[in-house]
Amino acid sequence: MEYPCDSPTQKRWFVMQAKRFAGDENKVVVAHIDISLRRQAEEKLKASELKFRLLLEQNRDGIALLDETLKPTYVSPAIFEILGYDVDQIQGVDLLSLVHPEDVETIQQVVAQAMATPGVPTKPKVTRMKSRAGEWKYIEGTLNNMLHDPAINAVIDNFRDITPEKLALEKLVKANRFSSISGGIGQILAHAPDEQTLFDDVCEVAVKLGGYLAAAVGLINPETLQLEAKASNGFPDDGDFDVTSYLEPDKLNSILHGHSTFEMFTQSDQPERGQIFDRGMALPLKRHGQAVGVFFVYSNNASHFDADESVLLMQVTSEIAFTIDLLENDRARRKTENELRIQNAKLRQAQKIAKLGTWEVDLENAVATWSVELLNMYGFPPEQANISYRDWLDRVHPDDRANFDLSRERAQNAKTGYSITHRIVRTDGHIRNVVSQLNFELDENGKAVFLIGVTQDITDFQEIMQALRASEKAFMQSESRYRQIVEMANEGICLLNEKNQIVFANSRLSEILGYTSEEFYNENLLSFQYTRNHNIEIAVRRILATQSAGVVELCLRSKNGDPVWANVALSIVADDFGETRGFVALISNITQKREAEQSNKFKAHLLNNISQAVVATNKSGVVKYWNKAAEKLYKRDASDVIGLRFKEVVDPSRMEMASEMWESSKKGNDWSGDIEMKNERGQSLAYQVTSQPIYDQREKYDGMLAVTTDVTEQRTLERLLEWSARLAKLGHFEIDVVNNTLIRSKLTMEILRATHSVEPDVANALGSYKPGVSRDTVLNAYQDALKYGKDWDFEAQLDTDDESEIWVRLIGKVEMVNGQTVRIFGSVQDITAQKLSEKAVLNAFQERDLIFESIGDAFFAVDQNWSLNYLNGKAESVLLKKREDILGKNLWEVFPEYVGTETFHHYHKAMETQTSVEFDEFFFSFQKWLEVSVFPSPLGLSIYFKDVTERKLAELQMVELNENLQEYTNDLVAANRELRQFSYIVSHNLRGPVTNIIGLARELGDNSYDAETQALFVKSLKSSAERLDNVITDLNDVLQLKSGGVEMKEKIELSTAVDVVIKTIQNQIASESGRVDTDFSSVDEIVTVKSYLHSIIHNLVLNAVKYRKPDVPPVIRITSAETRDGIELQISDNGLGMDLTRTKNDLFGMYKRFHFHVEGKGIGLFMVKTQIEILGGTISVDSALGQGTTFRLFFPR
């Protein structure tokens, strides 16, 4: 036993051992052994373990110990915060099953590297793992294979959750990419002079700013209807490529026929093509709703082409298509303007030839505007301006004035136009005949405000006819020109009649909505709404009802079902008399504009809602962007700072940092630095500020982008890491082999007790270890690193002046260039306490072994995992095992034959219930009886045992003798009982015939009887003698059965045995129309005495036939069944049956009969029971009157 003892200076521990003195049972030898060092080492070990456990449990980084199959055997509590699993839920789980499928190959490579380089931590790798909530978390981790170290025997996995930083970075990178793509494409679209330049620049921007590996544009050849490449960027042989090689034909057709807005494709879609890109996206380029080409982008980045990026690319594609339309419309516009100038020149020429002038009069201001030809017609100079209404009226011939005024007044009152032929007096006095056509334009109150007209000189008839023909031709040309203008307008134009039905639609409207002119005809414009909007309908109807102009925004439905947003401008069409004849609708497609606005809103929202503070300036340093996070962090609203210079909004205490950022940005360099700020609760938070230059589309400096990120948690973790290293006494070093220099951390200097202010050279450092094994190990390891690039990991003792024992663990990692070692870096850990503890524990173990070896009984111990951790010499001799062969192995693997035995259950009971168990057991593997005592503890089991084979054999022999004696006694009792019964039967059955014989013999001696009577006496005497002979024969059979030897048992088929018996009594069975049914499917073989089995079956089957029901054919069924201890044979019949309540006790008695209507001796069932009992079996019966009888015969195995 162990006990404490307080000495004057310190508390000490002892263990007391007592042993009976050899040769004198009254004396005991007692030994007291000082175990203080061992207890102190154990307490230090416990304290160190406690500190280590607290460090692990409070660390937000996770630590796991993995077995060789990478299943966790220990996981720190941080796993709950990181992946949501409790510690007990994650243990034993295959960690690879939690890794994202795309990251499995990477993590397998890391595992392979760790397994190939024991003791060397892998470089940190980031992988995605599924949390218990089903979310993908970004986990950064390192592996260190320490399976070779018996003290650890595990792969150490250090990991931490970097999901927030990763997602924030991805959001920022994505936002920057999106901004670059949108900005670059926007600049291209605004300045592209032609389609080819547009396509080339778009592909270049997609690769250089968008981060794609390649991009291409293909257009459909209208003649061959095949997709042909127009531009590309990023391909190995730029320009020489097949744009369809990455896309399945079905997907390409789906895009070209308008069935899909975009198609994704991967390398697996066309594996036989041997592509160089993993994935890509194809988007249609549409004009007037029809696909005219495809925009392709290619990438190997798995994060590309998500939902947001797909929307952006669709917008970019729409903008490209829109720009194509603009370029084509611009060409058409220039062509139309040129044609219009020609037509106007022709019109002026025609007016001059036809002497046709036009004019317009502002009735409110009495100001008239005349065409040049009209001025010439009236004799005014061409440069004359401000012709008044009165001047025009004064030129009317006086004789025609009354008729002219009357027609004009009627037309003005009726608010209609009119035509009149009259004469005019030119300014030179000449009179000319003219035809004037006039029309009044009314304001909203119906008041005439403008008078518009055309005047033609018809002085000479021939000139009139010629002028008329010229006018008609000019008019036709004018109509054609205006129709052409209408058809070539960039907006859709349609005419509505009084019923608001479309009577004309230009080709642009057909392009916008996809319908033909015939499909528009007679349709109500509002019937083309994508979704009915009653407010819009009311606004349109109000415009139509009030006959006024107006503009509304409508969402129309294209022919392919897509929504088309449009501005619809409505104006009235009136006839010559001012009557409304319909409306003109000018329809502008604003779908792309709305989508661009939505996209810009999304981008702004995305950038404005990230957790990082983002500030952007122009090239002059003026703030032009300040997001919400910046408002929250710097406590200034965007409205207050946008427009100010960057240095004006910076805290004065950080002006120097701001200047560094600005100067670095202007030089085209990135900048990074840390600042500290306090939150609302006064807590200090760490932030990292980064800046980078912004460039415009011409790659010229355009400003600075500054991002401020909260790195408080990261810095805290860095401090914790430094604190952990100090707690673990873990320093680091670096050797520059080329320059023979050594750099050591401050903690390394402290561990090595170095006092030099200047770093020593490598040779001096290597010589600081204790001469002998330690110094030789260090020098050899360094030489191997230089020559072979070999890493090291070993323990060594320092050479100290005071001869104190200081131990360190040295780990070195070699870096090589071109096969030459150029650098060695590693760590130094102070393991002095551990080594001293190990030494103390080793001493304690040696003392323990001495004690255990002195124990007289055999003894071994197992831990909670059933690993054998101690075996004394006595146990070796009993168990017939060498300790070096089995120590450290699982008990049940060493003795697998005892799994599931009573010993196995006893040991598990002691382990599970923590209660002692004692038992005796025969161990068949070494043929010995052992007395076993099992004592549990939290560490496992201690098992004491000794050989009690001789005692157990003596006990077993005694038990066997007692059992034999009891069996012999039972046989004697049974024999006596049978003997009494047999004596009774003999005396009873012999007395009758003998008495008859004696009486008849006496009467035969009397000669007084006549001859007939004497003959009767002789006959009776013979009959009695025969009865006596039968009784003696039966008794003889019984005696032979009882005392005779039993034949040898043999394997018999039941079906064959029954057939043999049935054949011997077939005539009796057939005479009663009976049958015997058998079923031996369960078991058909039995080991027994054949003659006994035949006799038993014969007696029971014959009884069933004899004691049948009258007039009922006997049916006998014989079946077999296998039981746990033997075989049961069942023989049933449908005969008379018996009343067992009355006959049960006498049923198997000798000469017992219960039916007397047939002959019998009453000995058959007695013989059956005797024979079955001789065979070691039993017989039972179930029967009832009128219901038949069933005999059950049991034959033991």
Neighbour-count burial for 294-305, b at 16+ CB within 10 Å, e otherwise: bbbbbbeeeebb
DSSP 3-state assignment of 1000? Answer: helix
Tokens of 200: 């080339």
More confident residue, 1059 or 682: 1059
**pLDDT of 906:** 92
- Please answer whether residues 543 and 570 qualify as being in contact, where contact means their C-beta atoms are separated by less than 8 angstroms: yes
pLDDT at 341: 77
Residue among 428, 454, 175, 406 at smallest CA distance from 309: 175
Q: Which residue has the tokens 């003698």?
A: 1025
Least confident of 88-102, 112-126, 980-994: 980-994
CATH fold of 348-485 reads Beta-Lactamase (3.30.450)
Phi-psi category of 643—alpha, beta or left, where left has phi over 0 and alpha has psi -120 to 50? left
Question: What is the tens place of the pLDDT at every residue in 274-290?
Answer: 457 778 888 888 877 78
**Whole-number pLDDT of residue 553:** 82
Cα end-to-end span (Å), the chain: 56
What CA–CA distance (Å, rounded) separates 53 from 920? 43
CATH architecture classification, 867-947: 2-Layer Sandwich (3.30)
**Confidence tier at 1151 by pLDDT (50, 70, 90):** low
CB of 942 within 8 A of CB of 965? no
Mean pLDDT to the nearest integer, 374-390: 79
3-state DSSP call for residue 1148?
coil
Give the rounded distance of the alpha carbon of 1051 from its chain centre.
64
Round the CA-based radius of gyration of the chain to a whole number and report it: 59
- Between the alpha carbon of residue 1129 and those of residues 918, 1177, 1179, the distances in Å are 45, 11, 10
What angle in degrees, to the nearest 10, is found between the helix axes of 36-58 and 832-854?
130
pLDDT, residue 1160, reads: 58
As a CATH number, domain 62-168 is: 3.30.450.20
What contacts 1190, CB < 8 A, 6 or more positions away? 1130, 1131, 1132, 1133, 1181, 1182, 1183
Range in 60-64, 695-699, 992-996 with the lowest mean pLDDT? 992-996
CATH topology of domain 489-595: Beta-Lactamase (3.30.450)
Is the separation of the CB atoms in 1059 and 1053 below 8 Å?
Answer: no
Cα 1166 from Cα 1153, distance rounded (Å): 11
Q: How confident is the model at residue 749 (pLDDT cuts 50, 70, 90)?
A: confident
Pairing relationship of beta strands 1126-1133 and 28-34 according to DSSP bridges: unpaired
DSSP element (H, E) containing 517: helix 517-520
* pLDDT confidence bin for 1045, thresholds 50/70/90: very low
Three-state DSSP at 506 gives coil
* Overall pTM surpassing 0.85 (yes/no): no
pLDDT at position 982: 52
In words, the CATH class of domain 730-830 is alpha beta
State whether residue 764 is helix, strand or coil. helix
3-state secondary structure of 595: helix
- Does the domain made of 173-331 have the CATH classification 3.40.50.300? no
Distance CA 968, CA 93 (A): 65
Q: How confident is the model at residue 873 (pLDDT cuts 50, 70, 90)?
A: confident
> What is the percent of the chain where pLDDT is above 70?
81
Full DSSP string of 366-388:
TEEEE-HHHHHHHT--TT---EE
What pLDDT is attached to residue 814?
92
In angstroms, how far is CA 1017 from the centroid of its own chain?
A: 112
* pLDDT attached to residue 467: 47
Instruction: Give the mean model confidence (pLDDT) for residues 259-265.
Output: 66
Q: What is the pLDDT of residue 693?
A: 92
pLDDT in tens, 561-606: 899 988 888 777 776 666 777 788 888 888 888 877 777 677 667 7
CATH number for the domain running over 1045-1196: 3.30.565.10
| Residue 269 token pair | 């879609």
Query: Among 10-19, 417-426, 803-812, 1041-1050, where is mean pLDDT lowest?
Result: 1041-1050
Q: Confirm whether 62-168 and 611-710 share one CATH topology.
A: yes
The pLDDT of residue 761:
74
So what's the pLDDT on residue 949? 84
pLDDT in tens, 221-236: 888 878 888 888 888 7
Domain range annotation of the chain: 2-34, 62-168, 173-331, 348-485, 489-595, 611-710, 730-830, 867-947, 948-1028, 1045-1196
The pLDDT of 703-725, averaged and rounded, is 80
Decide: helix, strand or coil at residue 627.
coil
Give dist(CA 190, CA 596) in Å, integer. Answer: 14
Where is pLDDT greater, at 21 or 450? 450
Percent of the chain with pLDDT over 90: 10
pLDDT band at 848; cut points 50, 70, 90: low
DSSP 697: T
Amino acid, res. 242: D
Distance in angstroms (rounded) separating the CA atoms of residues 1091 and 1049: 10
What are the C-alpha distances in Å from 565 to residues 259, 311, 1144? 20, 18, 107
Residue 284 β-bridge partners: 294
pLDDT at 270: 46
Q: 677 pLDDT exceeds 60? A: yes
pLDDT, mean of residues 2-18: 74
CA 488/CA 921 separation, integer angstroms: 109
Grouping H, G, I as helix, E, B as strand and the rest as coil, residue 905 is helix
**Whole-number average pLDDT of the chain:** 79
C-alpha span between 410 and 1070 (Å, rounded): 143
User: Cβ atoms within 10 A of the Cβ of 824, count?
Assistant: 23
Helix (H) or strand (E) run with residue 962 in it: helix 949-1004
More confident residue, 621 or 252: 621
| CB 1047 within 8 Å of CB 1090 | yes
Decide: 712 and 685 in contact? Cβ < 8 Å.
Answer: yes
Pairing of strands 11-20, 28-34: antiparallel
Contacts 24+ apart (CB under 8 A), 206-211: 206/181, 206/233, 206/297, 207/233, 207/234, 208/184, 209/177, 209/180, 209/181, 209/183, 209/184, 210/177, 210/180, 210/181, 210/184, 210/297, 211/177, 211/299, 211/301, 211/304
Does residue 384 surpass a pLDDT of 50? yes
Side chain identity at 507, as an amino acid letter? S
Cα torsion 479, 484, 487, 489: sign: negative
Does the pLDDT at position 492 exceed 50?
yes
pLDDT tier for residue 1162 given thresholds of 50, 70 and 90: low
Residue 934 reports pLDDT greater than 60 = yes
pLDDT value, residue 379: 86
CA atoms within 13 A on the CB side of 129: 23
Instruction: Give me the CATH topology for the region 611-710.
Output: Beta-Lactamase (3.30.450)
Q: Distance (Å, rounded) from C-alpha 762 to C-alpha 779?
A: 11
The yes-or-no verdict on residue 53 having pLDDT over 50 is yes
User: Are 369 and 359 in contact, with CB atoms under 8 Å apart?
Assistant: yes
Q: Which CATH number fits domain 948-1028: 1.20.1290.10, 3.40.50.2300, 1.10.287.130, 3.40.50.170?
A: 1.10.287.130
How much is the pLDDT for 368? 78
